[in-house]
Amino acid sequence: MSPSAQSKPNQTPQLLASLADELEHAGALCDRLEMLVTQLVRASRGETLEIALHEAQTVDVLTQHLAALATFTRRLSTQSQVGGEYDLSDAIAGVTLGDLAMRLAQVTREAEALVASESGDLDLF
């Protein structure tokens, strides 16, 4: 990896903010797609209407998912780093989609367990 391509620790907040911007941009594009699907649903007649409604809801879920990821990433980018660590619980608290929050929390628990096992801490069962 070239020196210019390597990430420096102090660039991490800017990288996370940039990622949040890109997620928000993707969400805005999904909003536009959702408007198109909504128009197609309104123009639809007959049996395909149910399928079109389902697809319209899928686009809405995708838009919400991207917004939640952007919120999570933005919260991480605004945290002041202490020892290079982030408060993932605080970032997850901003995620309003329950399923996504649970998946992010699961990853957080797995990462914390890995750090604890690498540090030599005693794990009691």
Closest CA to 68 of 33, 19, 103, 101: 101
Domain contains 79: yes
- Residues spanned by the domain of 100: 11-118
Percentage of the residues of the chain whose pLDDT score is greater than 70: 69
Mapped onto helix, strand or coil, the DSSP state of residue 83 is coil
Tell me whether residue 6 is in a domain.
no
Domain count, the chain: 1
Give a yes or no: residue 1 inside a domain.
no
Residues near 37 by beta carbon (within 8 Å), at least 6 away in sequence: 52, 55, 56, 59
pTM of the predicted model as reported, rounded to 2 decimal places: 0.70
* pLDDT of amino acid 125: 40
Whether 108 maps to a domain, the answer reads yes
Is residue 120 a contact partner of residue 104, using CB atoms and an 8 Å limit? no
Per-residue pLDDT of 36-76, as tens digits, reads 877 777 776 665 667 767 777 888 889 999 999 999 999 98
**Diameter over CA atoms, the chain:** 64
Residue 4 lies in a domain: no
Does a structural domain hold residue 2?
A: no
**Count of beta carbons in the 10 Å neighbourhood of residue 92:** 19
Q: Specify if 16 maps to a domain.
A: yes
